Amino acid sequence: MQTINVRINIDSPTGRRLLEEVKRHPKVAKIEYPLIDGEKTYSIEEVFSKVEEKLNNHYGTNLKLKF
């Protein structure tokens, strides 16, 4: 499979139009949005542990979620 990385400036009408055209072809084009400065991505383990913690604190239980 051959791939190419492209940067499109979506501040302009032409850039937004190009992005919309790429979105129409999800089988051949994948769009990856850059992270905003200071933004963090979370692993599935981190997400489930946070959900587990919030549920247990809110309901006063000691649940262990499996993922």
Q: What angle do CA 31, 34, 37 make, to 5 degrees?
A: 165
- pLDDT recorded at residue 8: 94
Statement: the pTM of the whole predicted model exceeds 0.75: no
Q: Residue ranges of the domains in the chain? A: 1-34, 36-67
pLDDT digits 0-9 by tens, 18-58: 999 999 999 999 998 888 888 888 888 999 999 999 999 99
**Residue 62: φ, ψ to 5°:** -135, 60
- pLDDT recorded at residue 15: 96
